[in-house]
Structure 1
Amino acid sequence: MSTETDTSDMTEGSEPAFGRVSRSKDVAFRWLTLAAALLGIVALAALLANVAVDAVGWLTWDFLTGMPSFSNPYDAGFYPAIVGSIALMLLIALITFPLGVGAAIYLEEYASDGYLTRFIQLNIANLAGVPSVVYGLLGLGLFVGLLNLGFGTLLVAGFTVSLLILPIVIISAQEAIRSVPDSQRQASYGMGATKWQTIRNVILPRAMPGILTGTILALGRAIGETAPLIMIGAPTAVFGVPNSLFSKVSAMPMQIFTWADRPEMEFQYGVVAAGVVTLLVILLSINSIAILIRNRYQRRT
């Protein structure tokens, strides 16, 4: 009797009440998430447009190839900071990529699932959230105080910032390796391959796009870091490009931070805006190159 009553309440082409409520919530949630995405995109676009407008007239060839100045904004140059940041990024990539991928391979493919491995995993996850100034203090105490590699050198800056992003690279590489189906490992072993041959020929090629994605995000964070460089005594500006690992080095964020602290309005708006636009262009260029390399691995697999 109750079944007949329930079915009589629904006419042809109608839907149950819970279906209508569910669909309404789905539409509302979709529009809510769209608004959240548009809010972030519009705010970022407005900020970038404002900076780009302020950089008009200041972002010139003389600015890109000149030496820094703190007295006359019209003579300010960005060349040593640009070269220093690029050299620093290359050194960081050379340090963090093999160390991060190697640690991830060991933890995922070789280490047993014991208390020690879980303890290491927990600490790596915690280190990924440590503030950057703490890594600056670590670099100051370890590389400058203990190893005596010098204040503000390219080598010290590279090691310090590498420690900062190394946990991020390890975690992203672990997730990429973990995403490779176990059936492919077993198929490789079934054909007589060794552990290393399976890792080299099966796991790494399929995990490489994910590994590169995590590395790209980590390097994007590294290029904008200022606090670790301040803590290790990196100069606010240098008047020459680094010619060795023990040369003093400055970076674009350090130079921009110093210009923003100047009392002249031309420094605070025009020169700083030109430096920010240059930093963004170089960051996007490095990311684009890394994305092209990642896409090549995706096509191969």
Structure 2
Amino acid sequence: MSQQSSLAKKKRRNQNIAFGIFTFTSYAIVALLFVILAFIVIKGIGVISWEFITEMPKNGMTEGGIFPAIVGTLCLVLVSMVFAFPVGVLAAIYMNEYVKDGWIKKIIKQMTNNLAGVPSIVFGLFGMSLFVNKMGFGDSILAGGLTLGLLVLPIVIRTTEESLKAVDDTFRQASYGLGASKWETTSKIVFPIAFPNIITGLILSVGRVSGETAPILFTVAAYFLPKLPTSIFDQAMALPYHLYVISTSGTNIEASRAMAYGTALVLIIIVLISNLLANALRKYYGNKVKTN
């Protein structure tokens, strides 16, 4: 009995140590996030004003506002999501619901994983070659949005696939038992149940697209363009590239640095608002699935 008691105490001690390490790591990550956010807020809050958000940039972007960059970023996010979300969701549905387990499915998954690991600058070069030059879109919001859509496509596919896998097979079997076809089961039963979790891919994609610089550098971003785009075939400023330019410019360093922190804060706020809206959408559809 004494030996069993000592073994039980040792297991509890090891368990408490492991839980302590996990807890410390979790709180350390949260604390690091708050430190980064606090640093950006402290440095950038003094620059934020109505004029900074709504005016055009002036004097080599050391004065004025960042309104064109905000509009350009939102346009790029919208175009990329309109492309990536439907394509990624449909691809994941095909792989999870229609393709049987085998070497074809393994190859598709492996290629998706490899695509997720490709550096973003490679996507930028590919987008420039295909959308800008080959397809004749030029440096435009359409070319940049499609390039960013390709960049986040693996994220949408993987999150959607995992969401579909999480749906209990009893729902599928019950639907088949009632005489529903494969497509009816997928579209009316499986997809609505998985949709709240599928939105997670949308949240991650919006955050990734909003902060990318390399792909838009080759496909859409303009150095200084104090006007708003009028169509998806126009060039546009974007917050990540704007932040890069004013951070590395050699003129009026203090003013540029202050605007850089302000731009970073605005970018974080846009991503935060987008995530909150997506989370609200996920909660709405989650409650709708529960009530149904």
Q: TM-score, normalised by structure 1?
A: 0.91
How far is the alpha carbon of 1:144 from its aligned partner? 1.4
What residue in structure 1 maps to residue 148 of structure 2?
A: 161
CA distance in 2, matches of 1:182, 1:68: 55
**Higher deviation after alignment, 19-28 or 276-285:** 19-28
The gaps in structure 1 that reach 5 residues or longer are: 1-6
110, 115, 118: which one aligns with 2:103: 115
Q: Which amino acid aligns with 2:10?
A: V
Alpha carbons 1:176, 1:210 under 8 Å: kept? yes
Secondary structure of 1:249 counterpart: coil
Tell whether 2:197 aligns with 1:191: no
227, 242, 247: which one aligns with 1:255: 242
How far is the alpha carbon of 1:35 from its aligned partner? 1.8
Kindly report the root-mean-square deviation, in angstroms, between the aligned alpha carbons of the 2 structures: 1.6
46, 50, 53: which one aligns with 2:35: 46
Matches within 5 A, 1:1-301: 7=1, 9=2, 16-71=5-60, 73=62, 75-151=63-139, 153-232=140-219, 234-263=221-250, 264-301=252-289
CA distance in 1, matches of 2:263, 2:61: 15
Over 3 Å counting, the alpha-carbon distance change for 1:214 and 1:31 in structure 2 is same
The gaps in structure 2 that reach 5 residues or longer are: none
Q: Which amino acid aligns with 2:246?
A: W
How far is the alpha carbon of 1:70 from its aligned partner? 4.7
CA distance in 2, matches of 1:233, 1:163: 15
Q: Which amino acid aligns with 2:160?
A: A
CA distance in 1, matches of 2:45, 2:98: 55
How far is the alpha carbon of 1:72 from its aligned partner? 6.8
Over 3 Å counting, the alpha-carbon distance change for 1:128 and 1:87 in structure 2 is same
Alpha carbons 1:58, 1:270 under 8 Å: kept? yes
Secondary structure of 1:193 counterpart: coil
Q: Which amino acid aligns with 2:86?
A: P
How far is the alpha carbon of 1:233 from its aligned partner? 5.3
Alpha carbons 1:85, 1:251 under 8 Å: kept? yes
CA distance in 2, matches of 1:71, 1:138: 30
How far is the alpha carbon of 1:118 from its aligned partner? 2.0
Q: TM-score, normalised by structure 2?
A: 0.94
Count of aligned pairs between the two proteins: 288
Over 3 Å counting, the alpha-carbon distance change for 1:228 and 1:70 in structure 2 is farther
Secondary structure of 2:18 counterpart: helix
How far is the alpha carbon of 1:240 from its aligned partner? 1.3
The C-alpha deviation readout for 1:86-117, integer Å capped at 9, x for no partner, is: 11111111111110111111111122333223
How far is the alpha carbon of 1:277 from its aligned partner? 0.9
Alpha carbons 1:54, 1:269 under 8 Å: kept? no
Q: Which amino acid aligns with 1:175?
A: E
What residue in structure 2 maps to residue 3 of structure 1?
A: none
